[in-house]
A and B are shown apart, each in its own frame.
Chain A
């Protein structure tokens, strides 16, 4: 079974621009989460989607947004980029959110975003 895929893998943007990152989950997985990883803050949760609905949101400003499509693919958008947004952005998929389902998350390779 193919793993989680993320595009693009690397991105360089200028401060003030916006960026859209894409994630395709493992086939059959309905939940997609996004994380930001930096050396200073570690792995931090951005948001989680299930069946096209945002179910959980981390403590990030409104410049960070996301969505999920009917095929479970997800995108995240960062507007008005700041230098501090430079990070590895990771997408993770899991089967679902219900208590009876497994919460194990499988990460994609990530998108390395550099803001100059």
Chain B
């Protein structure tokens, strides 16, 4: 059974700070990794995808993947109150191609 683990939080950071969200996964053969943002009462919104080891940057967001450690993270620079949401990590590939989501980390950015 593939597992994706996230700290449920809440992670509280001040406005302007860097928020660091972490995710570990159990299936070493996993190939595709995604971060979604979900505001309360809304559906998940894709933020980033990453497929190879290293960093991938998109605006204020940076995804980091370390397959050896089975670890993927999301950094949000210059955090804004509008970034307050639940961030879901998703993993795909490996033994089964079923996408598996973590339970999410709640992020609170306070002014």
Contact = CB atoms under 8 A, between A and B. Distances in A.
A42 B103 contact: yes
Interface stretch (A10-18, A68-76, A78-86, A98-106): A98-106
Interface residues of B, number: 20
B96 A43 contact: no
Contacts of B45: 107
Nearest to B33: A103
B88 A43 contact: yes
Interface residues of A, number: 23
Interface string A40-69: 001111001000000111100000000000
Interface of B: 32, 34, 36, 42-46, 49, 88, 92, 96-104
Given A45-B99, A106-B46, 13 more contacts: A42-B102, A43-B88, A48-B98, A56-B98, A88-B43, A90-B44, A104-B46, A105-B46, A107-B36, A107-B44, A107-B45, A108-B43, A109-B42
